[in-house]
Amino acid sequence: MKLRVCVAAAVWLCSVQVAQAQSPDPLQVRSWAASCSNCHGTNGVAQSGMESLAGVPAADITKKMLDFKAGRKPATIMHQLSKGYSDEQIAAIAGFFAAQKK
């Protein structure tokens, strides 16, 4: 019986850690996204001449970022910036911008 309780507790603890790993803190995601504001504007609403990210589907942003990261898409600086984030962080940042109003 004790073994069963220990196994159940271990499984529960692992599932909590996996859930936390999949859902980063929203304030942390907002902080990551803020680093994009110099070029892409506050909350992804860029000034003319730059690409706005607000309201763009997360899948589109994620694909572009992963393409920059892998060197499949040419860039002046994005290929370097994208390498500073994990794929999971990129997906979280893309979700943040997708949720912003244009």
For each of the domains in the chain, give its residue range(s) and CATH number, in order of start.
25-98 (1.10.760.10)
The Cα–Cα gap between 13 and 36 comes to 35
The answer to whether the beta carbons of residues 68 and 82 sit under 8 Å apart is: yes
The Cα–Cα gap between 93 and 100 comes to 11
Model pLDDT, residue 1 = 52
Consecutive 10-residue averages of pLDDT for the chain (102 residues): 44 46 88 95 94 97 98 95 97 98 92
- Give residue-wise pLDDT tens across range 19-41: 455 689 999 999 999 999 999 99
Model pLDDT, residue 23 = 83
| Residue 42 burial (CB count, 10 A) | 12
Helix (H) or strand (E) holding 15: helix 2-22
